[in-house]
Structure 1
Amino acid sequence: MTRIDIMANERLLDDRHHLHEFQELWADGPVAFVFLRQFGSAFAVRQAQELNDYYDEITAVGAKVAFIGLGTSIQGFTFRKRADTRFLVLTTQDQTLYRTMGLWRYRAGTIGPWNLREWVRLMRAGVYPYQRTGDPYQLGGAFVATAGGQEVAWDFRAHKASDIAPGREIADALVQAAVRRPAGATV
């Protein structure tokens, strides 16, 4: 059993109070699960803004992106508005999924000086942190699951707060997963 298999029946609320099962998300195509360190993080907002640039490319191949964050549906809705994203925003109240996917919770990785330069760069670009949600020491990551949830085609795990999965790499992984033949398919 893989980590993706474990996630298949997980049900999370979106930012509009609708329940979604993970297996419904990958039923028709690949999906990127982007775990945010917290909804109020400037790095999380930048992550969503980067992926917004690839929205048309991602949806054209039948792929999806789901942002997952620790917090309430209202906090997820606020994140969606601040990031101006059209992708799905899911919320969870605990860190079970984060632990299942092997994502770090690391105090030094969130408050260490190596994040300062990136944080200042974001502030200069007009991306500011706002209301803290969830666990301030939780780090994020991203996983691209193939159609049917058969495998993880690409993954990224943060080791410090300023680590965010590059939007271009996520989009490329989704496109590649969409054009690949599913395992066991015949010609």
Structure 2
Amino acid sequence: MSRVDVIANERLIDDRHHQHEIRDFWRDGPVAFVFLRQFGSAFALEQARALNGRYPDITAAGGNVVFIGLGTPIQAFTFRKRAGTRFPVLTTNDQTLYRTMGLQRAWIGAHGPANVAPLVGLIRTGVYPYQRTGDNRQLGGVFVASIGGKEVLWDFRAHHAHDIAPADDIVRALNSVVTEQAS
């Protein structure tokens, strides 16, 4: 499993230009850090919409979701508005966090033929890519951290652009953290 405590002191800017430390988000409950491939990715938008649909389940469990992407605060703001998410959206201008968390950077994974059919499927449902942000080869991932950030209890790393962690799995991981720490 990954360690999340190594990024505890990292400071990121949200879509409203406010600065946050990573540790602020796990203070009151478990948190799922969703590292986006890029803010303009149709797959990132679909993941955000799926998680936003589970907002009541996540908050009822005392959990939170934080989206992290490469880009500027205005790109994060545009992403939050397009996704309609109520979860925080943070931005970083370099790949330090992505590298620290072991997320891949691969051209074939980001642009290879394995992504074509899933992208066409999203476009048919009305989800479109809209702008390139950050690094076009960066892939994403999800890390569910315990209350207090002592450890990562569930993780998911993308190998292709279309690899996104299912919202049900993220909610289940957040619920298991709450259940485990309550007993």
Q: Which TM-score tier does this pair reach, normalised by the shorter chain?
A: over 0.9
Q: What's the offset of the Cα at 1:179? A: 1.9
Matches of 1:28 and 1:62 in 2, distance apart?
A: 8
Match in the other structure for 1:53? 53
Match in the other structure for 1:18? 18
Match in the other structure for 1:90? 90
Match in the other structure for 2:6? 6
Tell whether 2:178 aligns with 1:178.
yes
* Number of residue pairs aligned between Structure 1 and Structure 2: 182
Tell whether 2:94 aligns with 1:100.
no
* Amino acid in structure 1 at the alignment position of 2:80: R
Instruction: State the identity %.
Output: 64
Match in the other structure for 1:153? 153
Identify unmatched segments of 5+ residues in structure 2: none
* Amino acid in structure 1 at the alignment position of 2:157: R
* Amino acid in structure 2 at the alignment position of 1:148: G
Q: Which runs of 4+ in 1 moved over 4 A?
A: none
SS at 1:138's partner residue?
coil
Contact 1:29 1:147 (8 Å CA) reproduced: yes
Any idea what the Cα deviations from partners look like across 1:119-156, whole Å, max 9, x if unmatched? 00000000000010000000000000000001101000
SS at 1:143's partner residue?
strand
After TM superposition, the score normalised by the length of structure 2 is 0.97
Contact 1:42 1:129 (8 Å CA) reproduced: yes
Q: What's the offset of the Cα at 1:175? A: 1.0
Q: What's the offset of the Cα at 1:98? A: 0.2
Q: What's the offset of the Cα at 1:38? A: 0.2
* Amino acid in structure 1 at the alignment position of 2:140: G
After TM superposition, the score normalised by the length of structure 1 is 0.95
Match in the other structure for 2:137? 137
Match in the other structure for 1:37? 37
Matches for 1:60-79 after TM superposition, within 5 Å: 60-79=60-79
Contact 1:145 1:153 (8 Å CA) reproduced: yes
Q: What's the offset of the Cα at 1:52? A: 1.0
Matches for 1:116-135 after TM superposition, within 5 Å: 116-135=116-135
SS at 2:4's partner residue?
helix
Matches of 2:178 and 2:63 in 1, distance apart?
A: 7
Contact 1:144 1:155 (8 Å CA) reproduced: yes
User: What is the CA RMSD across the aligned residues, in angstroms?
Assistant: 1.1
Matches of 1:175 and 1:123 in 2, distance apart?
A: 32
Matches of 1:98 and 1:39 in 2, distance apart?
A: 14
Q: What's the offset of the Cα at 1:3? A: 3.0
Contact 1:3 1:100 (8 Å CA) reproduced: no
